[in-house]
Amino acid sequence: SSNAMWGGRFAAGPDAIMEAINASIGYDQRLYAQDIRGSRAHAAMLAAQGIISDKDAEAIGEGLLTVLSEIEAGGFPFSTALEDIHMNVEARLKEVIGEPAGRLHTARSRNDQVATDFRLWVREQCDAAISGLDTLIRAALTRAEEGADWVMPGFTHLQTAQPVTFGHHMMAYVEMFARDKSRFIDARKRMNECPLGAAALAGTGFPIDRHATAEALGFDRPMANSLDAVSDRDFALEFLSAGSICAVHMSRLAEELVIWSSAQFRFVAMSDKWSTGSSIMPQKRNPDAAELIRAKIGRILGASVALFTVMKGLPLAYSKDMQEDKEQVFDAADNLMLALAAMAGMIGDMTVNADKLEAAASGGFSTATDLADWLVREAGLPFRDAHHVTGSLVAMAEDQGCDLPDLSLEQMQSINPAITESVFDVLGVHNSVASRQSYGGTAPDQVRAQIARWKEQLG
Ligand code: ARG
């Protein structure tokens, strides 16, 4: 038989395969609360405008609450024949309240309905991401504060470069996560306009009040163009883009945690809560949570690529292609929130091995730049010459199987006679980091100032 909602001009029902490819209820049932909220706002507005009676609006509003609690109780008989959440809710409303249910869809289309529901949902996910990031930022800040003086090797090319502090390293991620947070805040602001009342695409002849429904649903204003309102999904793309960037940041930190927790590094130890063992190798403590966070960017960016691809060729206004927006965003959002929570937990619970950090910081000729800088400052060498002299000293130390501070003054002077005893002051890793006082540098004073700025900002 033909569809109860739109079957007027149809003699026969859809093929079973058509039903399968057409239905979105399997996933868009997640929008039930947003759908009911939007419908209640719409019905109240219709009554306020005299488009439907107060009595009908009341029946609709109450009936929708009944449907809401039925769905929340679980086991709601969602029907594939009814395609999506919008028609499932309305059909059930009809069973509950009868004839007035048919008046709910006045001056509305599923096109503006789904755009509204989905915006409400994505807006909530922005809030969830913002709060997840907040927790993560605080966790990283706490670790940064604790390790503001702990010296560790800073790397380029994953080769020892110069000593930095652990606090400095953590604060680098605080900066990244704070930008991620601001991206979600921005995206939320831009998406906070209401499509409801755009109807199918052209607006409606009924005297609706779009400002009222926008306000009732917590939007800043109605969207200004009905075609745009029903046909763009840039809010979802922005959410996925911000999510992808955030996931990249988490993935890089996760990668570091995987490396740092290895037997070769031992910079950190993951707590039992965030590790798994091996069924065959009894010694193993695997950083699975970090690895999974590292992998999440795959699905989040994948979702983003999928939705960009769905949208890129669509003429205005609505096309059914856009039904493919939801699963991607649902999956990306779920995994983003999970990754944020796991990352915050892992960071908070890990043990940082300050001694290992310091021992590693001292190796790899990490203060060679300090030595070159000393030659510039104290012996007046041009930096390029100082670089060359230092390179020869590194080669000499490497030859002797020792570190730079282990060379004798005589050995150093054999390469450049201008070197004096005071060079040894700059070869220690603590002196090295303490000297890096430029704004944003790794000196503990700078790191503490950065921490203080963030603590004040976060309150
Ligand atoms: N399930 C549809 C979606 O998610 C709802 C909108 C249907 N509109 C239409 N004109 N067929 O996009």
Residue 12 — pLDDT band, cuts 50, 70, 90? confident
Which residues, listed in sequence order, are joined to residue 165 by a DSSP beta bridge?
151
Give me the phi and psi of 283, to 5 degrees please: -80, -10
What would the pLDDT profile of 93-104 be if each residue is shown by its tens digit?
Answer: 999 999 999 999
Where on the phi/psi map is residue 175: left (φ > 0), alpha (ψ -120 to 50), or beta?
alpha
CA distance 230 to 200: 7
Report the pLDDT value the prediction gives residue 280, as an integer from 0 to 100. 80
**Which of 320, 322, 326, 330 is the best mutation target for the ligand 1 pocket, counting ligand atoms within 8 Å of the beta carbon and taking the most?**
320
How many other CB atoms are there within 10 angstroms of residue 88's CB atom?
24
Report the pLDDT value the prediction gives residue 110, as an integer from 0 to 100. 98
Verify whether residue 231 is a known catalytic residue: no
Report the pLDDT value the prediction gives residue 5, as an integer from 0 to 100. 79
The residue whose CA has the least distance to atom 11 of ligand 1 is 320
Mean pLDDT of the 192-196 span: 98
Q: Is the pLDDT assigned to residue 4 strictly greater than 90?
A: no
**What tokens were used for 202?**
């052209």
The residue whose CA has the least distance to atom 12 of ligand 1 is 323
What would the pLDDT profile of 147-159 be if each residue is shown by its tens digit?
Answer: 999 999 999 999 9
CA of 301 relative to ligand 1 center, distance in Å: 25
Burial of 291 (0-12, 13-18, 19+ CB in 10 A): middle
Verify whether residue 278 is a known catalytic residue: yes
Q: Which amino acid is at 155?
A: F
CA of 97 relative to ligand 1 center, distance in Å: 24
pLDDT cut 90: percent of the chain above it: 91
CA distance 83 to 128: 29
Q: Is the pLDDT assigned to residue 229 strictly greater than 80?
A: yes
Q: Is the pLDDT assigned to residue 2 strictly greater than 80?
A: no
CA of 227 relative to ligand 1 center, distance in Å: 15
What would the pLDDT profile of 395-443 be if each residue is shown by its tens digit?
Answer: 999 999 999 999 999 999 999 999 999 999 899 899 999 999 999 999 9
| Ligand 1, CB within 6 Å, residue ranges | 24, 28, 84, 110-111, 114, 318, 320, 322-323
The residue whose CA has the least distance to atom 7 of ligand 1 is 110
Angle subtended by helix axes 325-349 and 110-146, to nearest 10 = 10
Q: Which amino acid is at 25?
A: I
Q: Which residue has the tokens 């979702």?
A: 303
Mean pLDDT of the 270-275 span: 90
CA of 323 relative to ligand 1 center, distance in Å: 6
What would the pLDDT profile of 337-395 be if each residue is shown by its tens digit?
Answer: 999 999 999 999 999 999 999 999 988 898 899 999 999 999 999 999 999 999 999 99
What would the pLDDT profile of 84-136 be if each residue is shown by its tens digit?
Answer: 999 999 999 999 999 999 999 999 999 999 999 999 999 999 999 999 999 99
Q: How far is CA 450 from the centre of its chain?
A: 23
Measured from the CA of 85, which atom of ligand 1 is nearest? 1
**Residue 456 to residues 165, 209, 450, Cα–Cα distance (Å):** 22, 43, 10
CA of 115 relative to ligand 1 center, distance in Å: 9
Report the pLDDT value the prediction gives residue 284, as an integer from 0 to 100. 80
Q: Is the pLDDT assigned to residue 1 strictly greater than 70?
A: no
In 3D space, the residue among 99, 106, 347, 351 whose CA is nearest the CA of residue 208 turns out to be: 106
Report the pLDDT value the prediction gives residue 250, as an integer from 0 to 100. 98
CA of 60 relative to ligand 1 center, distance in Å: 22
> What is the model's pTM?
0.94
Mean pLDDT of the 36-58 span: 98
157, 279, 422, 438: the active-site residue:
157
Q: What ipTM describes this predicted complex?
A: 0.97
Mean pLDDT of the 187-211 span: 98
Residue 59 — pLDDT band, cuts 50, 70, 90? very high
Measured from the CA of 84, which atom of ligand 1 is nearest? 1
Residue 9 — pLDDT band, cuts 50, 70, 90? confident
182, 262, 278, 319: the active-site residue:
278
**Which of 111, 231, 311, 324 is the best mutation target for the ligand 1 pocket, counting ligand atoms within 8 Å of the beta carbon and taking the most?**
111
